[in-house]
Amino acid sequence: MAEEIKFEPSPDLQIDLKAAHKKTAKALLWIAIISMLMFWAGLTSAYIVRQGAGNWLQFEVPSMFIISTAFIVTSSITFIYAQKAVKKGDNKGVFTGALLTFILALIFSGLQYMGWKELFDNKIVFGGKYSNPSGSFFIFFIWAHWAHLAGGLISLMFVLINSLRKKYSSENALGVELCAIYWHFLSVLWVYLFLFLYFIR
C-alpha cells in the first residue's frame, strides 16, 4: 500500500495566504461600500430633482433624529476602543467596545423609530392620501439606512461572539477591522443624510 503523503504548508505560505485573504476581504468590502455610495448618490440626486418639480411639503425634522445622530457618532468612538484593544490582543477590550457600540446602535434605532412615529402622527407618511414626495423621500431614507444598519448589527454580533471565544489577536484582527470600516461608514453616512435632509428641505 502506498504511503500516504501529507502536505503541510510552510509558515511563510500560511502568512502569505492570510495576507491575501485580508486584502481580498477588505477589497470586497470597499467595493460594496462604493456600490452603496452610488445608490445614495442617485437617491439624493433624485430628491433634489423632485424637490425642484414643486408640490413639496416642508415640515420640521423631529428632534429624535438630532439626538440619534449623537448616539451613532458616539458608537463609532466606542468601536475605536475595540480597534485599539485588538491590536493589543485584548479580547475583553474588544468585547467591551463592541458591546457599547451595539447598545448605542440599539438606542439609535429606538430613537429613529420614535422620530418616524412622530412623523407618522403628523401625517408625514410614505404612501397613501396624506403622502407627499418630501415625506416619502424622508421616510425611505430612514428605512434604507436601517437596512444598512442591520448588516452592521449582525457584524457586531459576530465580533462579540468571537471576542468571547478569544478568537482575536494582534495578528488575527480581520473581523474587527472589517466591522470597523463598515460601522464607521454607517456613522458618516447617517451624519451626511441627516444634514442633507435637515438643510435641503
Confidence label for 1 from pLDDT (cuts 50, 70 and 90): very low
Q: Is residue 114 part of a domain?
A: yes
Domain CATH for 142:
1.20.120.80
**pLDDT digit string, tens, across residues 44-82:** 999 999 999 999 999 999 999 999 999 999 999 999 999
Q: Is residue 96 part of a domain?
A: yes
Distances (CA, A) of 75 to 25, 84, 196: 23, 15, 21
Amino acid making up residue 8 = E
Residue 132: domain span: 65-199
DSSP 53: T
Between the CA atoms of 28, 30, 35 and 37, what dihedral angle is there, to the nearest 10 degrees?
170
User: How many other CB atoms are found less than 10 A from the CB of residue 142?
Assistant: 21
Higher pLDDT, 22 or 172: 172
**pLDDT digit string, tens, across residues 75-94:** 999 999 999 999 999 999 99
Cβ-proximal residues to 66 (8 Å cutoff; 6+ apart), any chain: 194
Distance (Å, whole) CA 140 – CA 127: 10
For the chain, how many residues are written? 201
Q: Is residue 33 part of a domain?
A: no
Q: Is residue 19 part of a domain?
A: no
What is the average pLDDT score of the chain?
A: 91
Q: Is residue 13 part of a domain?
A: no
Distance (Å, whole) CA 174 – CA 93: 16
**Which set of grid coordinates corresponds to residue 87?**
491590536
* Total domains in the fold of the chain: 1
Q: Is residue 1 part of a domain?
A: no
